[in-house]
Amino acid sequence: MLNQTSITEFLLLGVTDIQVLQTFLFVVFLAIYFANVTGNGAILMVVISDPRLHSPMYFFLGNLSCLDICYSTVTLPKMLENFLSTHKAISFLGCISQLHFFHFLGSTEAMLLAVMAFDRFVAICKPLHYPLIMNYQLCTQMAITIWTIGFFHALLHSIMTSRLNFCGSNHIHHFFCDVKPLLELACGNTELNQWLLNTVTGTIAMGPFFLTLLSYFYIITHLFFKTRCCSMLHKALSTCASHFMVVILFYAPVLFTYIRPTSSSSVDQDRIIAIMYSVVTPVLNPLIYTLRNKEVERALSRRTIQKMKSAEI
């Protein structure tokens, strides 16, 4: 049950309060959102439809593309609406829902990146055992597990935040509802919420991050000390490069936001960093995988040619 509060809605102050920039920013972020949905949607489509991509690596890539579409959809449509609106309100329930899905999808992506790193570790370090270890059943179980953990992690935050009392200002200095801005508006004791944010979210973020680094440590050690063929070394490093770039893009702003002390943060800084991991990173992921992965590039080309031939008939 939600606590009865005197606040029934919040006002999202958005990216900027400069009115002349609102229309320009609407066009820019609409283009980014369209590119995100198109790029990730194309990868998801070819992973499902192309039998050549029915492998654990591309199964998880399909999950990542689905996550990136949903991740941006949680925040961008409301942001776009607010660019053209004078009353930038979001209901209390809508705010808690946005917070829930944002943390649900974000924490799931953090764990998914660790699973993808483990997949690369098995493929490179234990190639003969790869089909046996990374079988369909295990891949499905891992995917279901990380989605489930992500959901309940977010549910914990949404329930705890919804139980706070908000009796002062309802102005959120952000373009979406997140835990940290809401804790700043709460008029009760938020120590438990702050502890959960630092401990639970810190564990969800740092745990997969260290597992990802551990996987890459073993991969690099294996490649440089046990691989004699230069072409095999280059192919393995090229395969890992796309994933590692995505890991850096995702974790750098997330860790900067949630791990640093609250006293060292600023509103404008938080908003810029949030744009990086919630808007920019999801749209760059398909670009990185397309440019660095020849199999995805060829699959997209085949799909495009098939569509063109179908249109001519």
Residue 3 pLDDT: 47
The pair phi, psi for residue 54, each rounded to 5°, is -85, 75
pLDDT tens string 81-97: 999 888 889 999 999 99
- Residue 248 belongs to a domain with what CATH number? 1.20.1070.10
How far apart CA 179 and CA 6 sit, in angstroms, is: 19
Residue pair 120/215 in contact (Cβ under 8 Å)? The answer is yes
How far apart CA 270 and CA 215 sit, in angstroms, is: 30
Q: What is the pTM of this model?
A: 0.89
Is residue 15 in some structural domain?
A: yes
Residue 67 pLDDT: 95
Lowest mean pLDDT among 40-49, 130-139, 289-298: 289-298
**Sequence-separated (6 or more) residues with CB below 8 Å from residue 139:** 56, 59, 60
Q: What is the arithmetic mean of pLDDT over 50-61?
A: 90
How far apart CA 296 and CA 307 sit, in angstroms, is: 16
Is residue 179 in some structural domain?
A: yes
Is residue 2 in some structural domain?
A: no
Query: Does the pLDDT at position 114 exceed 90?
Result: yes
Neighbours of 41 (CB within 10 A): 15
Q: What is the dihedral of CA 94, 168, 257, 192, to 10 degrees?
A: -90
Q: What is the arithmetic mean of pLDDT over 102-120?
A: 94
Is residue 265 in some structural domain?
A: yes
Is residue 3 in some structural domain?
A: no
**Domain assignment of residue 267, given as a range:** 9-312
As given in the structure block, the two tokens for residue 115 are: 């699973």
Is residue 54 in some structural domain?
A: yes
Tell me the percentage of the chain whose pLDDT exceeds 70. Answer: 89
User: CA geometry: angle at 192 spanning 247 and 194, to 5°?
Assistant: 40
Q: What is the arithmetic mean of pLDDT over 29-44?
A: 94
**Angle of helix 56-83 versus helix 22-49 axis, rounded to 10:** 160
What does 16-83 look like in DSSP terms, one character per residue? ---GGGHHHHHHHHHHHHHHHHHHHHHHHHHHHH-GGG-SHHHHHHHHHHHHHHHHHHHHHHHHHHHH
Is residue 277 in some structural domain?
A: yes
How far apart CA 171 and CA 184 sit, in angstroms, is: 10
Is residue 1 in some structural domain?
A: no
How many structural domains is the chain composed of?
1
